[in-house]
Structure 1
Amino acid sequence: MSDVKGGDGGELRALMARVPSVERVLASAEFEAVIAAYGRTQTLAALRATLDAWRADAQAGRAFVDALSDAQLARTVDAKLAKRTRSNVRSVFNLTGTVLHTNLGRALLPDEAVRAVAEMLTRPANLEFDLDTGARGDRDDLINGLICELTGAEAATVVNNNAAAVLLTLSALAPRREVIVSRGELVEIGGAFRIPDIMSRAGAKLREVGTTNRTHLKDYDEAINAKTALLMKVHCSNYAVSGFTKEVSIAELAPLAKARGLPVAVDLGSGTLVDLAQWGLPREATVRETVAAGADLVTFSGDKLLGGPQAGLIVGRADLVAKIKKHPLKRALRVGKLTLAALESVLRLYRAPETLAERLTTLRLLTRPADAMRLAAERIEPALQRMAGETFTVVSEPMFSQIGSGALPVDVLPSYGLAVRLASGKRAGGQLNRIEKRLRELPRPVLGRIADGALRLDLRCLEEADEAAFIAQLDARDAREDARE
């Protein structure tokens, strides 16, 4: 390229005369593909902006004449429009070691749910139409029977997330009345979701009982008064209290509540429908067990351990669910047809528990064999080393994953992955941040975590079907780096 610097006024005018006609450039063969991809309106605006930027550079003495060729203008405009039109919502490679990562969309849907959502996107459906009677129906009826079958509850309703489920339950059952909760269960989870704040917004009054580490049945009993609306237990979703502790189980609390004419509500958080221990995972109380233990209402998420779309489920006594559904907030918090279609498809998988570990994506990732991840690490290691360069060493090594999204916070899963460290053995500091940034800038961003002086890429969530694409973009980045050098 020839660097053209602006001199006196005559030279600058001559330089500006080199700027081609916009209409002529748009009519050139080089711009046919750009216009076909982005349309004439966007292409015209981007071309004018490119030429204006060139004029500004020319006045500052740093313009390149070669940048005005039709081919180069087409490449520049195409790059600008590609960046401008790229979706802000992008798929990424989750190599953080957290399976249900709140910031990365939590549970991945199985193929059955994806097909069901696609069907709902393209065709009318009986969302609120009873095909048997020909009359208007209730959207909850589409999955109410299935949820009750899997949980043992009398009735169910669905809202857009578990925070909404808790808010709606308290708003419907405890306005201007007291809700008794153990002090050790006043949790705060991601996004500043605090049980006391939710109660306040719902118009309920929090009545704390017990201490942070120990609460007894008599604490609940002594706190009950004429203003009490319900007793509530909250799953400690993102922390654990150990040592000298005591909590009151649902089986203990339910008889007291029944004797005093009060319901027991349980916020189970990332509720699971099956015993995870059968697959070697840490045990978590199921929704069915919670209902059977005496809970009158249970709220839980659809996109955590259940493995479905974002949703909040409320199950329990039919009279209480009916009251909740009549509350005005229910309409504001209800879910649409896409969520219902996905949720129904996921719930149906639970009818065949013998195939659940293969068909439910979340469970498949949680139970992925360590050997499979180790072999993947060995296959990927050379490509990542080439991209990282001689400054770094890339090593396959054991790691520990976590379930995430507040589920079983103190439990970890043996895993395998790749660790990137500074070859000199010194603390990498900003250099690790730079290579982490390079991975985030790939066409499909790669997200790992920096810990203990290394960039760690846990391969639990990189399934074999995506492995070739993962390696290919590492090699493509390496090739681009070589070309620039």
Structure 2
Amino acid sequence: MSAVPGLRTRPPSVDSVLRWPAVEALAAAHGRPLVVDAAREELAARRASGEIGADDDIAAAIAARTLEQLAPSLRKVFNLTGTVLHTNLGRAPLPPEAIDAMVKVASGASNLEFDLNTGKRGDRDDHIERWLCRLTGAEAATVVNNNAAAVLLTLNTLAPRKEAIVSRGELVEIGGAFRLPDIMARAGCKLREVGTTNRTHLGDYAEAIGARTALLLKAHTSNYRVEGFTAAVDEAALGALAKDKDLPFVVDLGSGTLVDLARFGLPHEPTPAEALDNGADLVTFSGDKLLGGPQAGIIVGRADLVARIKKNPMKRAMRCDKLTIAALDAVLRLYADPDRLARRVPAIRLLARAADEIDALARRVQPAVSAWLAGRAEVEVFAVQSQIGSGSLPVNLLSSVALRMVPTGGKRVAGRALEGLAATFRALPVPVIGRIADGAFLLDLRCLEDEAEFIGLFAGEGRA
């Protein structure tokens, strides 16, 4: 049967399909192996369904399968969930300076571990250590691939087969059921809990110190807060106790910020510099949360302890690549000018964004979205509250504005309609991710900066 448009009663062979001009062009553009697999899958599906179709339809379906396989899985999305540092959506967006730095080192060779002055092997930490020391007041610093790794490496270096003393009220669990006690066990040290869930005193730490004690650990409870009849030992008191007992004092800040966020109208979050001033010997924190950089786990503190950590064989397994180093270096250099941070670091800019600015944005984009959803949902501008996210300042909310969408058709179909609305926005060329709350689908506009691109999604698309 010739390869001309028309319905078939039996599927063509794979070999014959691969000789069709449209399929030959597809193979020339994207490679024969991928097109062969797509052709086999498409013909098998049509054979199973009994609906063979026309040749043009078969060729188009093979092309669609091929392009679907080639499409990247990791894609840009609009984060309109209301959670600024959204773990599932990549946490902090990077500033242009960091992206440019990554592109430069990615496109060719770089001096990642090469000392240009001596012509000998260098240390990749050298590119960021001086800035971390300058910004925190630490003697030394090193970086690994995330903060959980930073804690794991620190404990494995300083407390193998010994005890680390932690308040029972600070045994945190982070995302994905990842718990501090589990990290400690994998680090090869023994957890020594002191105090109770809601109250721990300095005497509890002092009484627990013994011959097997390797260090005192304080974990900042950044992703929850216990209120009411509570007591916790402050860092300065723990630092003094650790110094008196000649023990390292380690503070895990979790999120970590290098500046006082109060200058941007945000709640205060403890900084590494404050922890070091309070007597901490080592501080660990994240690079991709409040700092506004790439995913990284940062360790700052005493030079002798950092040197021991860097000699741990596990350090190599946890080290950062050249792209992370380049991006982090670029972001840290922005902190040399704290007065312009709110403009230059996207994470801080989005967190500090004023509600009246977001309200004006909402009123500009609402007509386009409303017209696109005409007959399917009512769209109104609505006051909401954003959250910082990624375990940072969990009870502190930010005044924001959203597009609130209520499906037409009554309460009986509201649940299915809301899920359908969410799926419709996720299916856009640039997926738009919102949230369902209180019988409505919400697009919190705090994190929307590319207004033109967003509105363009609803132009020429027809109705949803």
Task: Report SS of the residue matched to 1:310.
Answer: coil
The superposition leaves residues 94-143 of structure 1 with CA deviations (integer Å, 9 ceiling, x where unpaired) of: 11100111111111110000000001111211111111212111111121
Q: Does 1:468 align with 2:452?
A: yes
**1:79, distance to aligned residue in structure 2 (A):** 1.7
Distance in 2 (alpha carbons) for counterparts of 1:426 and 1:97: 25
| 1:398-413 alignment runs, 5 A limit | 398-413=383-398
Farther off after superposition, 292-301 or 418-427 = 418-427
Q: TM-score, normalised on structure 1? A: 0.90
Distance in 1 (alpha carbons) for counterparts of 2:180 and 2:347: 27
Q: Does 1:311 align with 2:303?
A: no
Q: Of the candidates 69, 93, 102, which is equivalent to residue 117 of structure 1?
A: 102
Distance in 2 (alpha carbons) for counterparts of 1:292 and 1:461: 34
Counterpart contact for 2:136–2:272, Cα < 8 Å: yes
Aligned-pair RMSD on alpha carbons?
2.1
- Aligned partner of 1:285 in structure 2 is 270
| 1:154-233 alignment runs, 5 A limit | 154-233=139-218
Q: Does 1:46 align with 2:30?
A: no
Farther off after superposition, 257-266 or 436-445 = 436-445
The superposition leaves residues 71-109 of structure 1 with CA deviations (integer Å, 9 ceiling, x where unpaired) of: x44432222222121111111111110011111111111
- Aligned partner of 2:462 in structure 1 is 478
Counterpart contact for 2:17–2:23, Cα < 8 Å: no
Percent identity (aligned): 57
Counterpart contact for 1:402–1:412, Cα < 8 Å: yes
Relative to 1, partners in 2 of residues 1:21 and 1:349: Cα closer, same or farther, differing over 3 Å?
Answer: closer
Task: Report SS of the residue matched to 1:340.
Answer: helix
The superposition leaves residues 37-57 of structure 1 with CA deviations (integer Å, 9 ceiling, x where unpaired) of: 423443344345444544554
Task: Report SS of the residue matched to 1:265.
Answer: strand
Q: Which amino acid aligns with 1:438?
A: T
| 1:413-428 alignment runs, 5 A limit | 413-423=398-408, 426=411, 428=414
**1:289, distance to aligned residue in structure 2 (A):** 1.1
Relative to 1, partners in 2 of residues 1:165 and 1:45: Cα closer, same or farther, differing over 3 Å?
Answer: closer
- Aligned partner of 1:334 in structure 2 is 319
Q: Does 1:107 align with 2:92?
A: yes
Q: TM-score, normalised on structure 2? A: 0.94
- Aligned partner of 1:455 in structure 2 is 441
Which stretches in structure 1 are left out of the alignment for 5+ residues?
5-13
Distance in 2 (alpha carbons) for counterparts of 1:225 and 1:51: 72
Task: Report SS of the residue matched to 2:446.
Answer: coil
The superposition leaves residues 336-381 of structure 1 with CA deviations (integer Å, 9 ceiling, x where unpaired) of: 1111100000000000111111110111111122222212222222
Which stretches in structure 2 are left out of the alignment for 5+ residues?
none
Q: Which amino acid aligns with 2:363?
A: E
Relative to 1, partners in 2 of residues 1:74 and 1:376: Cα closer, same or farther, differing over 3 Å?
Answer: farther
- Aligned partner of 1:346 in structure 2 is 331
Q: Of the candidates 226, 229, 249, which is equivalent to residue 264 of structure 1?
A: 249
- Aligned partner of 1:432 in structure 2 is 418
Distance in 2 (alpha carbons) for counterparts of 1:307 and 1:21: 51
| 1:346-365 alignment runs, 5 A limit | 346-365=331-350
Q: Which amino acid aligns with 1:260?
A: K
Q: Does 1:34 align with 2:26?
A: yes
- Aligned partner of 1:140 in structure 2 is 125
Q: Which amino acid aligns with 1:468?
A: A
Distance in 1 (alpha carbons) for counterparts of 2:206 and 2:37: 71
**1:20, distance to aligned residue in structure 2 (A):** 8.9
Farther off after superposition, 332-341 or 46-55 = 46-55
Task: Report SS of the residue matched to 1:130.
Answer: coil
Counterpart contact for 2:162–2:212, Cα < 8 Å: yes
**1:25, distance to aligned residue in structure 2 (A):** 7.0
**1:159, distance to aligned residue in structure 2 (A):** 0.5
Aligned residues: 459
Task: Report SS of the residue matched to 2:458.
Answer: helix
Distance in 2 (alpha carbons) for counterparts of 1:78 and 1:473: 24
Relative to 1, partners in 2 of residues 1:20 and 1:166: Cα closer, same or farther, differing over 3 Å?
Answer: closer
Counterpart contact for 1:189–1:237, Cα < 8 Å: no
Q: Which amino acid aligns with 1:218?
A: G
- Aligned partner of 2:73 in structure 1 is 88
Distance in 2 (alpha carbons) for counterparts of 1:361 and 1:338: 19
Distance in 1 (alpha carbons) for counterparts of 2:16 and 2:410: 58
